[in-house]
């Protein structure tokens, strides 16, 4: 062997050893940080390897080359009404752990990002045996004040399109959504809220005491208020590092959404619009500015093993679970709002009292 060949061989061995050591160090660090069970999720995209039920065919994800990662383009598909094709649903993945995150002090040097798991097993992804998505049910949760009870918040899907591939554990979807906020029964039991409701009823004005009369908040693609369509993609949000208490390695797979909060949608009644604006300020004080205009609301969705769809049950699922949230008096089956270090977020009741005073003055001036 020539000196030149020996030098090349030695160099190859050194590089190989360095690569091996570097890879081993990375894996060791991940094990130390995440634990043995979670390393599988990081490296392989899901901890649950249980196969879904029989009937999976697949193929829709591959029906158009534009659908493929790394940048799925779904624009050739129409945005469909979320409940218009329930009869086509055959399979589903339940979002057992919908982990939300937002900044409580947007624009500050330390924006004090917080985290909350919404009520589990409400959100679902529904699709055909071939993998075409036809319905997405999004989560709900109660936001509470110690003094004035709770309000419900729901992320309502108004349009969707996309695909699922069970064999690769990947998915890609586009959605349009709006936030809906209304007083829960525990909030309506408060004497002041009752008096507000009575005043609106007397004036023949809609009051946000039901989902039908909920305050509606617009959303859009972050940084682009003219684009209401935003992506849902496999993996976890890249806007922040998820704290350990929000990670669920037992999930089948993950997906994430980042959406910017827009203005409140008008009811075409100036009096009601002004009142809804004050209520939203009250809501944002209690929730840590979850739906403050300009804030970005993110959620990492940890999905369960695929299952079959009962179409009739799907049709009644969202309303049935809304009623279960309505009866809660603290934070329901989801988690409390916490900062990344685990410290609970606590709304400033003094500021909420001040906002209530503004509401009282508004009632005296307008009703």
Q: pLDDT for 302-315, tens place per residue?
A: 999 999 999 988 88
pTM for the model = 0.80
Structure tokens at 323: 């009623």
Q: What's the pLDDT score for residue 267?
A: 94
Q: What's the pLDDT score for residue 359?
A: 76
Reported as a pLDDT band with limits 50, 70 and 90, residue 366 is: confident
User: What is d(CA 269, CA 287) in angstroms, rounded to the nearest whole number?
Assistant: 26
User: What is d(CA 95, CA 321) in angstroms, rounded to the nearest whole number?
Assistant: 14
Return the closest-CA partner of residue 261 out of 215, 205, 197.
Answer: 215
Per-residue pLDDT for 322 more than 90?
no
Reported as a pLDDT band with limits 50, 70 and 90, residue 145 is: low
pLDDT tens per residue across span 231-255: 999 999 999 999 999 999 999 999 9
pLDDT tens per residue across span 185-198: 777 788 888 888 88
Q: Give the mean pLDDT of 46-55.
A: 74
* In contact, 119 and 334? CB cutoff 8 Å: yes
Reported as a pLDDT band with limits 50, 70 and 90, residue 118 is: confident
Q: What's the pLDDT score for residue 32?
A: 35
Q: What's the pLDDT score for residue 320?
A: 61
Q: What's the pLDDT score for residue 174?
A: 98
Q: What pairs with residue 180 in β-bridges?
A: 154, 216
User: What is d(CA 93, CA 99) in angstroms, rounded to the nearest whole number?
Assistant: 16
Q: What's the pLDDT score for residue 319?
A: 57
53 φ/ψ angles, rounded to the nearest 5 degrees: -70, 165
C-alpha distances in angstroms, 163 versus 28, 206, 243? Answer: 35, 39, 29
Beta strands in the chain (DSSP E): 91-103, 113-117, 124-127, 133-137, 140-145, 149-165, 170-183, 215-220, 230-234, 253-264, 296-303, 307-308, 338-339
For the chain, which residues make up each domain, given as ranges?
51-366
Q: Is the dihedral of CA 183, 184, 187, 191 positive or negative?
A: positive
Reported as a pLDDT band with limits 50, 70 and 90, residue 117 is: very high
Pairing of strands 113-117, 124-127: unpaired
User: What is d(CA 114, CA 162) in angstroms, rounded to the nearest whole number?
Assistant: 29
Q: What's the pLDDT score for residue 298?
A: 96
* In contact, 127 and 160? CB cutoff 8 Å: no
Pairing of strands 170-183, 140-145: unpaired
* In contact, 164 and 171? CB cutoff 8 Å: yes
Q: What's the pLDDT score for residue 111?
A: 94
Report the percentage of the chain scoring pLDDT > 90.
52
Alpha helices in the chain (DSSP H): 3-34, 36-44, 185-188, 191-202, 270-287, 311-326, 349-366
pLDDT tens per residue across span 61-89: 999 999 999 999 999 999 999 888 999 99
Burial class (CB in 10 A: 0-12, 13-18, 19+), 95: buried
Structure tokens at 337: 């709002």
Q: What's the pLDDT score for residue 355?
A: 75
Q: What's the pLDDT score for residue 238?
A: 96
Report the percentage of the chain scoring pLDDT > 70.
78
Q: What's the pLDDT score for residue 301?
A: 94
Q: Give the mean pLDDT of 285-289.
A: 86
Per-residue pLDDT for 124 more than 70?
yes
Q: Give the mean pLDDT of 134-160.
A: 78
Average pLDDT of the chain to the nearest whole number: 82
Name the more confident of 351 and 123: 123
Of 3-7, 27-31, 151-155, 274-278, the poorest mean pLDDT is in: 27-31
Burial string for 137-150 (b: 16+ CB within 10 Å, else e) reads bbbbbbbbbeebbb
Q: Does residue 159 sit in helix, strand or coil?
A: strand
Please name the residues in contact with 2: beta carbons below 8 A apart, sequence gap of 6 or more: none
């Amino acid at each position: 062997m020539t000196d030149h060949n020996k030098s090349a061989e030695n160099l190859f061995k050194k590089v190989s050893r360095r690569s091996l050591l570097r890879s081993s160090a990375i894996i060791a660090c991940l094990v130390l940080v995440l634990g043995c069970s979670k390393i599988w999720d990081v490296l392989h995209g899901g901890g649950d390897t249980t196969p879904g039920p029989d009937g999976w065919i697949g193929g829709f994800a591959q029906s158009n080359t534009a659908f493929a990662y790394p940048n799925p383009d779904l624009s050739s598909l129409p945005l469909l009404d979320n409940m218009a094709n329930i009869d086509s649903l055959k399979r589903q993945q339940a979002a057992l752990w919908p982990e939300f995150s937002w900044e409580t002090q947007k624009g500050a040097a330390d924006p004090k990002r917080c985290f909350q798991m919404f009520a589990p097993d409400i959100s679902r992804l529904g699709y055909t045996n071939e993998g075409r998505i036809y319905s997405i049910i999004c989560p709900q949760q109660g936001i509470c004040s110690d003094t004035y009870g709770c309000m419900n918040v729901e992320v309502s899907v108004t349009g969707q399109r996309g695909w699922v591939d069970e064999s690769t554990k990947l998915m890609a979807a586009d959605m349009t959504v709006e936030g809906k906020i209304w007083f829960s029964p525990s909030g309506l039991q408060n004497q002041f809220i009752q008096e507000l409701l009575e005043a609106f009823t007397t004036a023949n004005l809609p009051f946000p005491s039901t989902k039908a009369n909920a305050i509606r908040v617009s959303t859009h693609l972050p940084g682009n208020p003219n684009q209401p369509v935003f992506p849902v993609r496999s993996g976890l949000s890249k806007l922040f590092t998820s704290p350990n208490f929000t990670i669920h390695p037992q999930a089948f797979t993950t997906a994430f959404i980042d959406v910017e909060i827009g203005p409140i949608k008008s009811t075409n009644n100036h009096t009601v619009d002004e009142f809804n604006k004050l209520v939203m300020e009250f809501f944002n004080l209690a929730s840590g500015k979850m739906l403050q205009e300009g804030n970005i609301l993110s959620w990492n969705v940890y999905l369960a093993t695929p299952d079959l769809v009962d179409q009739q049950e799907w049709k009644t699922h969202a309303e049935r679970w809304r009623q279960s949230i309505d009866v809660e008096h603290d934070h329901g089956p989801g988690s409390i709002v916490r900062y990344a270090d685990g410290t609970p977020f606590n709304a400033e009741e003094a500021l909420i009292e001040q906002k209530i005073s503004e509401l009282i003055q508004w009632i005296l001036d307008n009703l």
